[in-house]
Structure 1
Amino acid sequence: MSTAFFDDLDDASRNEIINSCKGLRILSTLPYKKIKFWNDCVETCKTESTSFNRIFELLKSAGKYDVVMLTGGEKIDLLYAAIAFFAFWVKTPHIVVDAHWQKKSGFAYAIQKIIIKLSNRLVNQYHVHSVEEIAIYSALFHIPINKLTSIPWSTSLVGHDIKFLSALEKSDRALTGGSSFRDYEALFSAVCNLNINIDVGIKQGKLTDDLQKRWSACSNIHFLTRLSNAEYLKLMAGCKFFLMPIKSNLNRSTADQTILNAMFFGRVVIATDSIGSRIYIRHGVNGFLVSANSAEEWKSIIDHVLSLPSHQIQKISENASYDAKVLFNEPLRLYRTLKTAVEVAHQSKFLD
């Protein structure tokens, strides 16, 4: 199939997936209101993801559908899948999309395993982001390996004013941000008082308060705690480098979407070498990976990038933008997700 459009599928692929969905009833708990072909194929659960009413709505309505797609990041969806173990009347195959769970410790880990084990009765597939995660999730959460499928994540820019963002004047500043599984200590140690300003887009909270106190002496680190998503995207589109420090020893992907959005705008991304980042970044080709979360490693890579001639930076930027727009765009991810849903639905009908 062609992957020429970052905000839509080519006509042949769009028609193919819409035709393959005909006659099937597919329910999703996650809305994608701006992707037309998705909404031509999928009905979206109307109950909010934070409401326990979702459990009762799904238990009541799941049997009317040929396949149900749950959101792996929503605790309420996973709790539903576990409770549905006891709902003998629910036989519809389910898919957990965007399965990204970090192994907890002690009693919490035992609860994780119980919930996922109960979910296995109905869940036909778990979609992880990385091929690496297939073996990891099978070992950690005792998921049958044949139920694990990798579908890389994507940009999330459909519906945004891309022409406006792409035309923004470029600054000499670097940008980082977020709080989920971030490790700022090594990065800030490396960049403190370097001759480059670092903007940190992060929501106010205890982590932010602690970081601000600890790094207040570094005049080139600037905490921006009140940014909207649109304002953050403006900074991303206009920054010189995008930095993504990720905690070590994770068993899951993280920061995929943020990395890909920065690559979309042709930013040179420097990220910790982790399960998620290495799906998308080819070191020295379309970005850079920091092999260890140490100040020395971060400083070494940043110094290397700062020393590169402009034509080499331009080439890396072009590679990053191409990969994000063509290989990891949102319609392509949803196309892949729908393809698996159709296969699961037809397989279930065949077995019946």
Structure 2
Amino acid sequence: MNHFQDGTKDPTKVRVLFVAWFLREDRRWLGAFLPPERFECSYVGLEEAVDSTRKRTPWKKWWQFFRLALKARRELARHPQDLIVTAFPQVGFTVGLVNLLTFVRTPHVIWYFNCGHEYRGLRKWLSRLAYRGVDRCLVYTRHERSVYARVFALPKSRFQFTHLTGAELKAEDFRGAREDFALAPRYIAALGSSGRDYGTLLRAVEGLSLQLVIVAHPHALPPGPVPPNVKVLTSIPQQDYLRIIAEAELVAIPVNNRETASGQMTLIQAMALGVPVVATRCIGTEDYIRHGANGWFVEMGDVEEWRRTLRSILDDPEERQRLATEALRFARERFTDRTGARVLAALAEELSTPPAIFYNQTHSSTATPESDAEHSKDRRI
């Protein structure tokens, strides 16, 4: 850390503490893209793996998250920070609760704030308590701002929309899925588990000449047998998941979730790998797909429309190439962690106390005068 000779902190730098179970020496997440002349970054992660395959968070996983929150609290005690950035609602919950109980007032931002479904009962009550001290939650659809404000009894200004971001992907780095998994020369890929509607998709591909490859956890699949042209894979590493996307003719994202958002991660990965996407028109896809330009929408639960759309695109190689090219361009502009770091830089300089001297240089690119006024009315409730 940069200090002057008298031991005081360099006032030109904002200290940011990242807290996420996946942080490693070689994975600094958004911190890798923050300019070092403006920011000092610290990291708290877990050494052991965290199981992300369950539909509900098991107690073992909650215990891991609370240990992570306690590690972050010890780090804050040793090295005060200007901003805490946590990943996903569960870690934001545990860190928020620990900070509340130990009277920490460091500004807190939750990244990847997507709950999958509305909380109810005791979980909703505890979440409302834990999130009271959170300054901003980054959500990935505009609709979720109103949903979460209502569910967690917080001002809408606490929830900020930005496109979901991830590591920059290059299609040439993800090859060999056909051979390794004995896939057909041409196939459709359908991946992910949250809020999926594989029952509709399975009916839509019956009799289709191409293979459908589903990569999902068992709980996401409907009961009963699958058509003969369908291959199901479960519990594969992330690298293989991306390889299956990269070699697909197109990616199908069927969703049955009217409460919150589902499907964005698979969607941005497919676009970033230059693969055309057909998706259910829903909360999780409407802010990402431009119908007929960088992807294609199908109405929720419409088997016949799924069948017609898949056949139309699969039979038109020029249309697939056009969609793929535009999807790749769109992804490179909006879906990388480098873009996410610019959003975080503006937030850090807005929320840090006192405000960083660079605030005015970056804030204008990610906020509007209306949102400035909205945020300034409410830092805490």
TM-score, length basis structure 1:
0.80
Letter in structure 2 aligned against 1:27: L
Q: Post-superposition shift, 1:109?
A: 0.9
> Which residue number corresponds to residue 185 of structure 1?
199
Deviations 1:306-336 (A, max 9, x none): 344x333221111011111222222111221
> Which residue number corresponds to residue 44 of structure 1?
43
Q: Is the 8 A contact 1:156 1:261 kept in 2?
A: no
Say if 2:28 is the partner of 1:29: no
> Which residue number corresponds to residue 249 of structure 1?
258
Match of 1:68 among 84, 107, 111: 84
For residues 349 and 268 of structure 1, the distance between their equivalents in structure 2, rounded to whole angstroms, comes to 42
> Which residue number corresponds to residue 17 of structure 1?
none
Q: Post-superposition shift, 1:59?
A: 3.0
Say if 2:144 is the partner of 1:133: yes
Letter in structure 1 aligned against 2:255: I
Change (3 A) 1:147 1:295: same
Secondary structure, counterpart of 2:165 in structure 1: coil
Deviations 1:273-320 (A, max 9, x none): 121212211111111111122212211322332344x33322111101
For residues 60 and 183 of structure 1, the distance between their equivalents in structure 2, rounded to whole angstroms, comes to 43
For residues 270 and 119 of structure 1, the distance between their equivalents in structure 2, rounded to whole angstroms, comes to 37
Change (3 A) 1:207 1:116: closer
Q: Which has the higher contact order (CA 8 A, sep 6+)?
A: 1
> Which residue number corresponds to residue 9 of structure 1?
none
Say if 2:77 is the partner of 1:87: no
Q: Is the 8 A contact 2:213 2:231 kept in 1?
A: yes
Say if 2:340 is the partner of 1:333: yes
> Which residue number corresponds to residue 315 of structure 1?
322
Unaligned runs of 5+ in 2: 1-9, 51-63, 179-183, 358-375, 377-381
For residues 108 and 303 of structure 2, the distance between their equivalents in structure 1, rounded to whole angstroms, comes to 44
How much is the aligned-residue C-alpha RMSD, in angstroms? 3.0
For residues 162 and 292 of structure 1, the distance between their equivalents in structure 2, rounded to whole angstroms, comes to 30
Secondary structure, counterpart of 1:27 in structure 2: strand
Say if 2:302 is the partner of 1:294: yes
Unaligned runs of 5+ in 1: 1-19
For residues 235 and 150 of structure 2, the distance between their equivalents in structure 1, rounded to whole angstroms, comes to 40
Q: Is the 8 A contact 1:103 1:109 kept in 2?
A: no
Change (3 A) 1:121 1:154: closer
Letter in structure 2 aligned against 1:134: R
Q: Is the 8 A contact 1:244 1:259 kept in 2?
A: yes
Letter in structure 2 aligned against 1:86: L
Letter in structure 2 aligned against 1:29: V
Say if 2:279 is the partner of 1:271: yes
Secondary structure, counterpart of 2:293 in structure 1: coil
Q: Is the 8 A contact 1:263 1:269 kept in 2?
A: yes
Q: Is the 8 A contact 1:26 1:67 kept in 2?
A: yes
Secondary structure, counterpart of 2:138 in structure 1: strand
Secondary structure, counterpart of 2:258 in structure 1: coil
For residues 323 and 190 of structure 1, the distance between their equivalents in structure 2, rounded to whole angstroms, comes to 28
Q: Is the 8 A contact 2:12 2:356 kept in 1?
A: no
For residues 130 and 66 of structure 2, the distance between their equivalents in structure 1, rounded to whole angstroms, comes to 17
For residues 188 and 101 of structure 2, the distance between their equivalents in structure 1, rounded to whole angstroms, comes to 51
Q: Is the 8 A contact 1:286 1:316 kept in 2?
A: yes
> Which residue number corresponds to residue 234 of structure 1?
243
Q: Is the 8 A contact 1:248 1:274 kept in 2?
A: yes
Deviations 1:109-164 (A, max 9, x none): 13333233223442111111122211121122212112111121024345xx6434
> Which residue number corresponds to residue 53 of structure 2?
none
Letter in structure 1 aligned against 2:133: L
For residues 65 and 29 of structure 2, the distance between their equivalents in structure 1, rounded to whole angstroms, comes to 23
For residues 277 and 183 of structure 1, the distance between their equivalents in structure 2, rounded to whole angstroms, comes to 14
> Which residue number corresponds to residue 123 of structure 1?
134
Output aligned runs, 1:172-211, within 5 Å.
172-203=186-217, 205=218, 207=220, 211=223
Q: Is the 8 A contact 2:177 2:240 kept in 1?
A: no
For residues 355 and 120 of structure 2, the distance between their equivalents in structure 1, rounded to whole angstroms, comes to 32
Q: Post-superposition shift, 1:33?
A: 2.7
Q: Post-superposition shift, 1:228?
A: 2.6
> Which residue number corresponds to residue 370 of structure 2?
none
Match of 2:164 among 139, 153, 163: 153
For residues 290 and 45 of structure 1, the distance between their equivalents in structure 2, rounded to whole angstroms, comes to 41
Change (3 A) 1:250 1:52: same
Deviations 1:180-229 (A, max 9, x none): 221100010111121211111234x4555x65x432xx111111236332
Change (3 A) 1:21 1:333: farther
Q: Post-superposition shift, 1:81?
A: 0.8
Q: Is the 8 A contact 2:137 2:158 kept in 1?
A: yes
